[in-house]
Amino acid sequence: MVKAFYYPRSLNDALEQLSENEILLIAGGTDLVVKTIHWTGHMDFNKTLMPLSHLPALRGISTDDTSVTIFAATSLNTILGHPSVPDPIKQAIRSIGSESIRNLGTLGGNICNASPAGDSLPALLGYDAMLTLQSVQGKRMVKLADFIHAPGKTRIRPDELLLSVTIPKLSYDRYRFSKIGQRKGCAISKLSVFGIGRIENGLISDIRLSYGALGPVPIRITDAERFMNRKSASEVLDNWDIIENSLETQLKPIDDLRSDAAYRLEVALNLTKEFIASFTHC
């Protein structure tokens, strides 16, 4: 049985509830409902369920010269329809679920669910996304990279909610999001690789490489990035053992029902190589 349900009238109302009671937040519910529901269709929530998706203060996208801010309860399909959201981010979001899942599911839900296979996460990590968390005491900013610390675990406090996600407007010459799933549409990632970078005088510049479902949390491999910057693609490919080494020590894929560790690592390496090779013709 549902203990209770609270339908907040405003963001402030929601924040006050969070500060006073034990609350289970729900946005689109596409993760939460699937986790909670019994085969009979009954749902047992162990705390007061509080929906967020109807609150205007948590929806929409705002943009200025240098950044784009996506409010947490904006649906994935709304984000895909917005002209200011960068294409590399859109490509990752387009890979999530199906049309109907993207109508219901939100970006805040994908982040707070903190799944190793959350498909927006590698791209958002590559963009150095900053999260704004809010409670009755005010707002605080946290880097996405510091926010998720274990599968399903984030640094959000029980009295806080995720208000918004801010990403810089990066300039780039190459980007790629490769998601490997059981089938093309509507499948959870076995693994994913996100890469983005610039080319300056024929050399790789400001490259970012991040990986999903290749360890307990989505991860960026900054030492490999540093090694690649200011080198030509062929120089990087000639020293591929260094990259391989770095990825092999930092990626911690597991065997599970979707795939096994060895396959995941091998494909991640190949996809990374393919991405670097795309910098050759410039």
Partner 1 sequence: MNSENEFSILFNLNGDEIHYLGDPTRRLLNVLREDYHLTGVKEGCGEGECGACAILVDGHLYNSCLMMPYQINHKSVLTIEGFRDSKRFEIISRAFEAAGAVQCGFCTPGMVMATEALLRKNPHPLRDEIASFMSGNLCRCTGYDMIIKAVMIASEAGDGLW
The residues that touch partner 1, with contacts defined as CB under 8 A, are 2-7, 28-30, 33-34, 37, 39, 41, 43, 45, 49, 51, 53-54, 77, 97-101, 103-104, 183-186
Quick check: 201 and 282 in contact, CB under 8 A?
A: no
CA distances from 46 to 2, 3, 5, 237 (A): 7, 7, 11, 52
DSSP 141: E
Quick check: 104 and 28 in contact, CB under 8 A?
A: yes
The least distance separating ligand FAD from the CB of residue 186, rounded to whole angstroms, comes to 6
Q: What is the identity of the amino acid at 137?
A: Q
- Rank residues 37 and 277 by Cβ distance to ligand FAD and give the closer one: 37
The least distance separating partner 1 from the CB of residue 94, rounded to whole angstroms, comes to 9
SS3 content of the chain, % helix, strand, coil (to 5): 35, 25, 40
The least distance separating ligand FAD from the CB of residue 57, rounded to whole angstroms, comes to 11
> Binding ligand FAD by CB under 6 A: which of 80, 186, 203, 242?
186
When CB distances to ligand FAD are compared, the closest residue is 109
Q: Which of residues 98-127 bind ligand FAD (CB under 6 A)?
A: 101, 104-106, 108-110, 112-113, 118-119
**Rounded CA gap, 118 and 241, in Å?**
29
Q: What is the identity of the amino acid at 224?
A: A
The least distance separating partner 1 from the CB of residue 41, rounded to whole angstroms, comes to 5
**Rounded CA gap, 19 and 136, in Å?**
7
- Rank residues 19 and 278 by Cβ distance to ligand FAD and give the closer one: 19
Q: Is 25 in the site for ligand FAD (CB under 6 A)?
A: yes
The least distance separating ligand FAD from the CB of residue 266, rounded to whole angstroms, comes to 22
Quick check: 270 and 231 in contact, CB under 8 A?
A: no
- Buried b / exposed e across 128-147, counting CB within 10 Å, b at 16+? ebbbbbbbeeeeeebebbeb
Q: Is 259 in the site for ligand FAD (CB under 6 A)?
A: no
- Rank residues 106 and 246 by Cβ distance to ligand FAD and give the closer one: 106
125's CB contacts (< 8 A; 6+ apart) are 144, 145, 194, 208, 210, 218, 219, 220
The least distance separating ligand FAD from the CB of residue 31, rounded to whole angstroms, comes to 3
Binding mask 144-183 for ligand FAD (x = CB under 6 A): ------------x----xx---------------------
Q: Is 27 in the site for ligand FAD (CB under 6 A)?
A: yes
Residue (of 52, 55, 34, 110) closest to 77 by Cα position = 110
> Binding ligand FAD by CB under 6 A: which of 49, 55, 70, 72?
72
Contact footprint for ligand FAD (CB under 6 A) = 24-32, 34, 52, 72-73, 96-97, 101, 104-106, 108-110, 112-113, 118-119, 156, 161-162, 186, 188
